[in-house]
Every structure is written in structure tokens, then in C-alpha cells.
Amino acid sequence: MTEEVSVPESHPRYESLLTRHRIEAGVERGITSKQGLIAEGRGEAFDYLLGEETTDSADRAARAAAAYLLSAEHAVVSVNGNAAALVPEELVELADVTGAELEVNLFNRTRERIEAIADYLREHGAEGVKGLDADARIPGLDHERAKVDSDGIYDADVVLVPLEDGDRAEALGEMGKTELVVDLNPLSRSPQVATVPIVDNIIRAIPTITEHARELAGDPAAQQAAIETFDADAALADAKRRIREVEA
Amino acid sequence: MTEEVSVPESHPRYESLLTRHRIEAGVERGITSKQGLIAEGRGEAFDYLLGEETTDSADRAARAAAAYLLSAEHAVVSVNGNAAALVPEELVELADVTGAELEVNLFNRTRERIEAIADYLREHGAEGVKGLDADARIPGLDHERAKVDSDGIYDADVVLVPLEDGDRAEALGEMGKTELVVDLNPLSRSPQVATVPIVDNIIRAIPTITEHARELAGDPAAQQAAIETFDADAALADAKRRIREVEA
């Protein structure tokens, strides 16, 4: 439903042009903030160093994340401005396939942006978007940054937090939640505190998780295997190695 | 003259907070574009990987750049939106010390942004800002992206282009100009085609060039030595090595 840029998928810069187009649309809709644009640039640099592809290691992480979402009591996907701008339909599809809920959760929270993002997700097929009540608090964070829904992230046993701030990732981990993080910088705190760090571009990572979820759905043994064989430290080490292999 | 953020210089995040503050002011003034914010993020990621400090290698490059500016027939500093937003006073000071001219030159050129940037530089002490005539063209580039002043960049033998696009850096090099490039990504084309690639944050690089220029001023032998001992390939290799040394 997103009005896309008219570039064929075979174009070598397709993904990058698509990203730019969606980010610009996000700015126009009041979804992407100034900080979001800067964060997008940081991500681009790391993606460039990682070769702009989903590594085998990131694919295994996506599979483990799918397994956690499917086997959760209550899974919630936290959605911030860049996530909504970049992969609105893909997030709705992931929620559909895994039975997870979508909750808008912003670092720089304003009622206006929360509503703009919830509307955007609804336009892309989401039902029952959470994050507007904000009637519970994550312990150990500033008041504004701690706000979540009591029947959403606060209650969840598994949360997928793409592009999350380090402090919040840490606080969610301390609540005992299984945390699945998508982040392109393997050195930043969020992937380091995650149960499953997915070091990949969100544009590729979300559809990859959905694909694995389709395959793992209804197969608890396969889900269990994907969870048990996943090694978070090895995933982070792989991503760091990729960066170190930058051509001489 | 810039109204600064109230953080002491000793603060560990001083430079990063100052950068954010200046970039936000740039957005408010219509100087920093959406693409500029994304580019700022990309720079932040590389600066992080380089250790957020001016390496010895980058310092030698800054010294060579100072020597080229001082010994030029006609030196011009090309100023885009991010450069103006991040180091307005520092650019004016560099121009004063080296006798270089300032020319506003944008990748996404609009009359409005050119004038906003020229005004901003004048508020920070600049006189005779070029780039508003745009009565000459760099050969080999799209019409809009080729525009320069005939008595500015077009006529210059030495140009300092901080944060330049790869195509334009290449086209300027093909005109036979001595090109001094400030860029945090040692893998991008602009520093690779430069006579002097300065792989450093513009916030540190411009004052460093000015400092060297003060020291080298009036000493042609020292200027010659700084130019002759500088090795561009070694500078790029040093920067790439820094990135590869990212902690395991």
C-alpha cells in the first residue's frame, strides 16, 4: 500500500533508494524525527561495512527470533518512528504470522507522533495498535521514556525491539523479558544486552523473520531447536569480524 | 557567535552534543537538509569506529592541506549545508588565516538554501561569500550539480571540499585542481580521488588545518616539506586499519 519509488527491484541501488523514499515519506508524515534521520545514516554506514546483505549469522538470528515470537505467551513488537517508516507493511505481516501485537514506543515521545505512527500502521493493515494508553512504566527509566501499555510491552514475555536505545534495551532485559533486537551496530549496547541480536538492516530483517516464522509455525520442536542452537555471542562476534574485514 | 549548548567542554560527550546542537540549529535555519542529517549519521558511525579523535595520520593530512592552501595561487573552500551548520566560525577563521575564499556549493542546490548558508557564514564573520553567481560549470556533471562561480571554484588551483559527493570530487580532480577532502569514510570515493584525504570529523579537522596554517604561514620551506612528506595512500590505509581494529 505504500506508494513506492519507480525503480526496478533488479536495480543495484534498489534497496537504498527504497529506504530513502520511505524515510522521506516518514518525514512528510511526521513519523521520522531529526534524530531518526541521523540514526538512519548511522545504520547506513554499518550496513555498508557489513556488505549490505543478510549474513548467514543474521539469518540464524532471525530464525531464533521467529521461534521466540511463535513460542511466546505474549509477544509484542515495539515500533518506533524509523521502524514504522521503513517497514510498515512488513511489521503488520510479521505480527499476523506470529500472533504478536504491535506497540508504538518512542524515545522522543509526543502524542502527535504516536498517533501519526499508529495511523500509518493502520493504513498498512494493522489492527489494535497499542502504545496509546501508556498506563505502565518500565522500572529504572525516566518517566517519559518508561511509558508502555500495561497490557502490551509491560505484560509481554517476548519483545522484538528494532532500533532500540541502549538504556531501554537494558531496562527491558532487567524486567526478565526475552529481548529480540534488530541493530546494525554490533558494538552498541542494545544488541549486546539482547537475548537475540539481529545485526541486519530492518528492511531485510523483518521479512526474514516473517519467512522463518511461516516455516516454523506449528512445529514446536523446530522452534525449540532454533532457540537452542542460537549463540548470541557468536552472532555479535561474526558481525564484528565482518566489519574488520573491510578491504585493505 | 553561535549560541552554544550549555555543556562544559570537559564533558565526555561534549563534541557529540555540540554537533547535535549545531545540526539542529542548521535544520531550523534551513541550512541542513534531510540528506544532510542522514549524512551526519553516516559520519557519526565512521567517527565512532575511528575512535572519535584526530589520528596522527589525519593530523599530518591536515598539515599538508594547510600547506597547499597557503601556497596556492587561488584557494577556495567549498561550503555545503553540513559544513556551514557544523563549523561556521571555524571556516571563516580558516579562510582568514590562509587567504582562501569561501564558496557555497550544494549538491541539492536551491537559491533559498544557498542564501541561507551565505547569510549564516556572514553572521559568523565571513566577507565576500561566493557561490551565488554560479556562472560557470564543472565539466562532466549534471547541469545543476556543476554550477560554480567563474571567479571562485572554477578558477581555483586548490579547493578544500569538506563532505563532498564522489562524482563532484572526481570531476574537480579531472579539472586538474589540487583537491583537499574532509571525509570520515576512507572507503568512499571523495577521499580516494583527493590529493589530500583528511579522514577526520570536520568539527576537529577545520580547526586543526587552521592551527597548522598559523604555524606554516610565511615559511614556504616548511610548507613544501609538509606537502612533499605527505602520502595520501598511507593516510587512507591508516584510516582503514583503524576501522579494522574495532574491538573483538
One DSSP character per residue, A172-199 reads: HHHTT-EEEEE-S-TTSHHHHH-SEEE-
pLDDT digits (tens, 9 = 90+) for B148-165: 999 999 999 999 999 888
The shortest CB-CB distance from B246 to any of A27, A45, A240 is to: A240
Contact status of A244 with chain B (Cβ, < 8 Å): yes
Q: Are strands A75-79 and A158-162 parallel, antiparallel or unpaired?
A: parallel
Contact status of B247 with chain A (Cβ, < 8 Å): yes
- For residue B102, give the nearest of B74, B126, B135, B68 by alpha carbon: B126
The residue among A20, A38, A52, A244 with the most chain B CBs within 10 A of its CB, best to mutate, is A38
What mean pLDDT is predicted for residues B161-183?
A: 93
What mean pLDDT is predicted for residues A230-237?
A: 97
Quote the percentage of chain A above a pLDDT of 90.
77
Rg of the Cα atoms in chain A: 17
Q: Domain for residue A196, yes or no?
A: yes
Contact status of A237 with chain B (Cβ, < 8 Å): yes
Residue of B nearest to A35 (CA): B37
| ipTM for the assembly | 0.87
| Three cell numbers written together for A70 | 511463535
Q: Using pLDDT thresholds of 50, 70 and 90, give the confidence band for residue B248.
A: very low
Q: What is the 3-state secondary structure (H, E, C) of chain B?
A: CCCCCCCCCCCCCHHHHHHHHHHHHHHHCCCCCHHHHHHHHHHHHHHHHCCCCCCHHHHHHHHHHHHHHHHCCCEEEEECHHHHHHCHHHHHHHHHHHCCEEEECCCCCCHHHHHHHHHHHHHCCCCCCECCCCCEECCCCCHHHHEECCCCCCCCCEEEEECCCHHHHHHHHHCCCEEEEECCCCCCHHHHHCCEEECCCHHHHHHHHHHHHHHHCCCHHHHHHHHHHCCHHHHHHHHHHHHHCCCC
Report the amino acid identity of residue A131. Answer: G
Residues of A in contact with B243 (CB under 8 A): 49, 243-244, 246
Contact status of B243 with chain A (Cβ, < 8 Å): yes
What mean pLDDT is predicted for residues A30-36?
A: 90
Q: Domain for residue B104, yes or no?
A: yes
Contact status of A233 with chain B (Cβ, < 8 Å): no
Name B180's Cβ contacts closer than 8 Å, sequence gap at least 6. Answer: B65, B68, B69, B158, B159, B160, B161, B194, B195, B196, B198
pLDDT digits (tens, 9 = 90+) for A127-156: 999 999 999 999 999 888 899 999 999 999
Distance CA B247, CA A84 (A): 32
Q: Domain for residue B123, yes or no?
A: yes
Number of domains chain B contains: 1
Question: For residue A1, is pLDDT > 60?
Answer: no
Distance CA A132, CA A119 (A): 11
pLDDT digits (tens, 9 = 90+) for B63-95: 999 999 999 999 999 999 999 999 999 999 999
Residues of B in contact with A13 (CB under 8 A): none
Q: What is the DSSP letter of A130?
A: B
pLDDT for the residue B9: 66
pLDDT for the residue A247: 59
pLDDT for the residue B12: 61
Q: Using pLDDT thresholds of 50, 70 and 90, give the confidence band for residue A13.
A: confident
Q: Domain for residue B88, yes or no?
A: yes
The residue among A34, A48, A50, A107 with the most chain B CBs within 10 A of its CB, best to mutate, is A34
Domain that holds residue B126: 56-243
pLDDT digits (tens, 9 = 90+) for A104-122: 999 888 999 999 999 999 9
Q: B73: burial class by Cβ within 10 Å (0-12, 13-18, 19+)? A: exposed
Contact status of B39 with chain A (Cβ, < 8 Å): yes
Distance CA A107, CA A83 (A): 12
Q: Domain for residue B125, yes or no?
A: yes
CA distance A41 to chain B (A): 4
pLDDT for the residue B17: 82
Does the distance separating the beta carbons of B46 and A41 come in below 8 Å? no
Q: Domain for residue A95, yes or no?
A: yes
Contact status of B234 with chain A (Cβ, < 8 Å): no
CA distance A12 to chain B (A): 17
Strand order in the sheet with B196-198: B101-104, B75-79, B158-162, B178-182, B196-198
What mean pLDDT is predicted for residues A203-226?
A: 98
Strand order in the sheet with A178-182: A101-104, A75-79, A158-162, A178-182, A196-198
Look at the block and give the residue holding cell 580532480: B173
What separation in angstroms does the CA of B93 have from each of A198, B96, B211?
A: 45, 5, 10
Q: Domain for residue A42, yes or no?
A: no
Question: For residue A11, is pLDDT > 70?
Answer: no
pLDDT digits (tens, 9 = 90+) for A160-182: 999 888 889 999 999 999 999 99
Contact status of A238 with chain B (Cβ, < 8 Å): no
Question: For residue A50, is pLDDT > 80?
Answer: yes
What's the N-to-C CA distance of chain A in angstroms? 43
Does the distance separating the beta carbons of A187 and B48 come in below 8 Å? yes
pLDDT digits (tens, 9 = 90+) for B39-58: 999 999 999 999 899 999 99
Contact status of A34 with chain B (Cβ, < 8 Å): yes
pLDDT for the residue B1: 40
Q: Domain for residue B92, yes or no?
A: yes
Does the distance separating the beta carbons of B39 and A39 come in below 8 Å? no
Residues of A in contact with B163 (CB under 8 A): none
Distance CA B60, CA B66 (A): 10
Question: For residue A2, is pLDDT > 50?
Answer: no
CA distance B202 to chain A (A): 16
CATH no. for residue A87?
A: 3.40.50.12640
Residue B32: count other Cβ atoms within 10 Å of its Cβ.
28
Contact status of B46 with chain A (Cβ, < 8 Å): yes
pLDDT for the residue A7: 57
Contact status of B240 with chain A (Cβ, < 8 Å): yes
Question: For residue B7, is pLDDT > 90?
Answer: no
Q: In the predicted model, what is the mean pLDDT of chain B?
A: 92
